[in-house]
Structure 1
Amino acid sequence: MTGANGRYHNDHATSHDIEKDMGLNPDESSHSSSSEEHYEPPTLSNDHSKTLATTSDLEKVQSRRSAKSRISLKTSAPTTSVNDATAIPDGGLQAWLQVLGSFLLFVNHWGIINTFGVYQTYYMNTLLPDYSPAAISWIGSVQSFLLGFVGPLMGPIYDAGYFRPLIMVGSFGVVSGHMMLSLCTQFWQVFLAQALCVGLGAGCLFVPSVAILSTYFSKRLALATGISAAGSSCGGTIYPIAVYHLIPMVGFAWATRIIGFIALATLVVANLVMKVRVLPSEKRKVLDLPSLKEAPYMLFIAGAFMAFMGLYAGMVYIESFALAKNILDPNLAFYSLAVINGASSFGRIIPNYIADKTGPLNIIIPATFVSGIIALCLIVVKDVAPLFIVCVLYGFFSGALVSLPPTVFVSLSLHKRHMIGTRMGMGFFFISIGLLLGTPVSGWILDASDYTYVWTFGGTMLIVASLLMFAGRTAKLRGLKPLAKA
């Protein structure tokens, strides 16, 4: 029992037990207390009085220790379970601090990955001009792939209680990767530092940044996840602008180091404020194989795989497209990526707020479909105004697509809440394969033809993805009686 009444009950019970241990009848003790002014104590010798006083003090100390022992045993027992949705606070200072910490983690995993478009252009034009766009795109695609590839490992490790080591190792990987990147001049060096080191660090940060929110929020989980996921838009907006302006001022090496220092400062805050509330009591498996037989789960994964395969065609090549088609001059072209990421921040919060009311699948499906239509619109863009309109709309709707999968995985795992980390990790493992293949395939298409077919590829993949997600939603609803929100 908790609260003031609970404390009174425990204190009263403890006092009752102490009186029993001392050989007193509690009722008699109360009576003697009430008639204390009429009681005449017997006269005792000084020595005998001291002995009784000492004995009484010892009994009091022992009684207090016994009482504390009984109380500590009660409070040390677990009072909540990860499967008990009614115990989830769904708000409060500690819960919103987790949102802040998760936001900062998103700044430094998806936010950094969303920044690669500006690096792609810089590598193509300056640092690695002898390499094709497809070859350079492997750096960003492997970085994205590793973020999801380590998911099957990070999910069970998180569930096993290693949240703190995960975010510490991930923070070290992201920061040290940028410091090493500042020294790179060759393709293989850039690949090791940016693709492998930063990618693995981001992978360690990702699952903890989303899984922890489901233990603090229930009804407002999608909103909390959306606010956190807006960190990737924040990072994807601030980091490219910083890189673009810093390189002419201090050079590529120091520009990259400054990005590393920004990451260090924000990750320190995240490490300080984030705290695990409750963890499953059972051991977790690396894989939950029965989940692979669940139609809603697998259809959504198939749709998300195709969506992420087509999504980053627009984000990675939009800047080089604006330059190649003479739509924007070099001083404005890089802002196209910043506009996409800036609009994406609204697309991660507003649709997520609505998703709390309607269900995440009911939002992510139309958002994915509209993203595909907008990607196809890039085929006919030839002027500044239409380009920025497309960037704003693409950023907004793709923001919902990028931010809602964790919430969808939670909604598809309510019957296995204790396996959320594992199932989310498995899902993002498959999604990461789409991330790995998407930009190189777009690069190969660009090498063989032009941007028209790049946008056709990206838009088609997104539209097909929305159809697969819709099939998953239908399968989920048919399995529920009565029908509930998806």
Structure 2
Amino acid sequence: MPFNDGSATTSDNDKSTAGNAAAQQPLRPHPPPNGGLTAWIQVLGAHFLFFNSWGLVNSFGVFQTYYQDDLLKLSNASDISWIGTFQAFLLVALSVIVGPIFDRGYSRTLIIIFLAQGLTVGLGTGFIFLPSVAIVTTYFTTKRALAIGITASGGSLGSVIYPIVFERLQPRIGFPWATRVLGFISLATLIVSIAVMRTRLPPPKQARALLDLHAFQSIPYSFYSLGLFLSFAGLYIPIFYIIIWAQRHANVDSTLSFYLLAILNASSIFGRIIPGLIADKYGSLETAIAYTLVAGTLGYVAIVIKNLGGLLVFAILYGFVSGAVVSLPSAIVASLTPDMKLVGTWMGQSFFLAALGVLIGSPIAGTSINVPENKFSDGFIFSATLVMAAGVSYCLAKALKTKE
């Protein structure tokens, strides 16, 4: 019988201990693929989520005009705009809840429409908006801005299709069935997103807090979040009012003025994709600064436009630059977040501030816009000033980020 000094047993125990230790260590996820079928299918699914969130919100201009001229003609522009801004507010504000989940005196008719459109549409779109960009960001690093740009272009495509469908069907089948058709389109396209979208990173074992207030100790992040609030407060004022502005200010007929909104939103499709290509090369924040300052400048130029030609040029240019302004924030916040496991929470906090801007911007501008008297200039100046201030805040965020 051979002599056993215990060394073999010790060696076996060491191997067993090492194996147990390795088994207890969490597996690190593979690096983002930056392409491939699975990654780009996520972009497709997220594209349709944007189609049915921002696509609906950016279509409110056609509802603003319909309500102003028909269903709510006794209400003023500011009161009606609360419907659109509240649904946009919920869309973005719910990010502060959905983000951590992802990481882990008016007329009766006005009140009914506010609840049916402002509240319910806002709640529904709010729960699909942030996951669309948060999932995509985990699949890309080198092509992140482009992927998010393609995703965000779904919002532009939706805001082209939905107003056209509504404008064509509403006179023929009535308001109730026209809105039901919009719902059927949403259902069909959302089924695609449900079928293909998958999270890449495993969920954390411990639930995180709803807020990560330590994020605001990052000064670049704080200035960028302030800029989001300012830009979203001002950016949507011309979009909400472009149809009624064209009709009353430039005497454009109702059909052609409606298509100005479609042209603006169609232009923003390219404004969400092309700047993404530029941002991947030169930086998302740098690209956002340039386009935000141009958007503010166009807001000032708008007050001197008095004819159809000028309106067409404005719609094309403003649609393009506004597309860049609203599509780049996700990539920027991701670049400012130190840990991708917190990206949903950090996005949610920033987007909540942006939501506050959307909520108050157009109604405040509406108090200075007098549609019957054809007075729009004060509202557009207010819009442009807010957007320019956002550009300045972005510049400060960039300067401070560079010093870090």
The question of a shared fold, defined as TM-score above 0.5 by the shorter chain, is answered with yes
> Partner of 2:6 in structure 1?
none
- Equivalent of 2:147 in 221, 224, 229: 224
> Partner of 1:467 in structure 2?
392
CA RMSD of aligned residues (A): 1.7
- Equivalent of 2:247 in 320, 323, 326: 323
Tell me the secondary structure at the aligned position of residue 186 of structure 1.
helix
List per-residue Cα deviations over 1:90-139 (Å, max 9, x = no partner): 11111111000000000011110000010000001011111111000000
Name the CA distance, whole Å, in 1 between partners of 2:247 and 2:309.
15
Alignment of 1:233-244 (within 5 A): 233-244=156-167
Alignment of 1:89-108 (within 5 A): 89-108=33-52
- Equivalent of 1:388 in 294, 312, 322: 312
Name the CA distance, whole Å, in 2 between partners of 1:111 and 1:80.
37
Tell me which amino acid in the other structure corresponds to 2:244: S
> Partner of 1:298 in structure 2?
222
Tell me the secondary structure at the aligned position of residue 369 of structure 2.
helix
Is it true that 1:308 corresponds to 2:232 in the alignment? Answer: yes
- 8 Å CA contact 2:250–2:308 kept in 1: the answer is no
Report the TM-score when normalising by structure 2.
0.91
Aligned-residue identity in percent: 43
> How far did residue 326 of structure 1 move?
3.7
Which structure has the bigger radius of gyration? 1
Aligned length: 377
- 8 Å CA contact 2:243–2:260 kept in 1: the answer is yes
List per-residue Cα deviations over 1:357-395 (Å, max 9, x = no partner): 111001000100000111111111111111100110000
Tell me which amino acid in the other structure corresponds to 2:59: T
> Partner of 1:63 in structure 2?
none
Alignment of 1:470-481 (within 5 A): 470-479=395-404
- 8 Å CA contact 2:370–2:376 kept in 1: the answer is no
- 8 Å CA contact 2:53–2:125 kept in 1: the answer is yes
Q: Which has the higher contact order (CA 8 A, sep 6+)?
A: 2
Name the CA distance, whole Å, in 2 between partners of 1:319 and 1:298.
35
Name the CA distance, whole Å, in 1 between partners of 2:347 and 2:335.
11
Tell me which amino acid in the other structure corresponds to 2:173: V
List per-residue Cα deviations over 1:249-276 (Å, max 9, x = no partner): 1111111000000000000111001111
Alignment of 1:218-297 (within 5 A): 218-281=141-204, 282-297=206-221
- Equivalent of 2:97 in 140, 153, 156: 153
Alignment of 1:43-442 (within 5 A): 79-81=27-29, 87-160=31-104, 186-281=109-204, 282-413=206-337, 415-442=338-365
- Greater shift, 270-279 or 435-444, is seen at 270-279
> How far did residue 425 of structure 1 move?
0.3
- 8 Å CA contact 2:227–2:389 kept in 1: the answer is yes
List per-residue Cα deviations over 1:402-458 (Å, max 9, x = no partner): 100011100100x22110000000110111000000110111111498211111111
- 8 Å CA contact 1:134–1:447 kept in 2: the answer is no
Tell me which amino acid in the other structure corresponds to 2:197: M
> How far did residue 343 of structure 1 move?
0.4
> Partner of 1:453 in structure 2?
378
Tell me which amino acid in the other structure corresponds to 1:253: P
Name the CA distance, whole Å, in 2 between partners of 1:445 and 1:340.
23
Structure 2, unaligned runs of 5 or more: 1-21
> How far did residue 80 of structure 1 move?
3.4
> How far did residue 209 of structure 1 move?
0.4
Name the CA distance, whole Å, in 1 between partners of 2:130 and 2:23.
30
Name the CA distance, whole Å, in 1 between partners of 2:218 and 2:139.
27
> Partner of 2:17 in structure 1?
none
Name the CA distance, whole Å, in 2 between partners of 1:118 and 1:419.
37
List per-residue Cα deviations over 1:310-359 (Å, max 9, x = no partner): 10111001110101024311110111111110000000000011101111
Name the CA distance, whole Å, in 2 between partners of 1:98 and 1:155.
18
Name the CA distance, whole Å, in 1 between partners of 2:184 and 2:339.
40
Name the CA distance, whole Å, in 1 between partners of 2:207 and 2:177.
45
Evaluate the alpha carbon distance shift between residue 75 and residue 118 of structure 1 in structure 2; reply closer, same or farther with a 3 A threshold. farther
> How far did residue 155 of structure 1 move?
0.7
- 8 Å CA contact 1:215–1:278 kept in 2: the answer is yes
List per-residue Cα deviations over 1:48-76 (Å, max 9, x = no partner): xxxxxxxxxxxxxxxxxxxxxxxxxx999
List per-residue Cα deviations over 1:159-201 (Å, max 9, x = no partner): 12xxxxxxxxxxxxxxxxxxxxxxxx82111111111111011
List per-residue Cα deviations over 1:200-229 (Å, max 9, x = no partner): 111100110010012211110110000000
Tell me the secondary structure at the aligned position of residue 321 of structure 2.
helix
Name the CA distance, whole Å, in 2 between partners of 1:252 and 1:157.
36
Report the TM-score when normalising by structure 1.
0.76
Name the CA distance, whole Å, in 1 between partners of 2:346 and 2:292.
22
Name the CA distance, whole Å, in 2 between partners of 1:447 and 1:76.
67
Tell me which amino acid in the other structure corresponds to 1:125: D
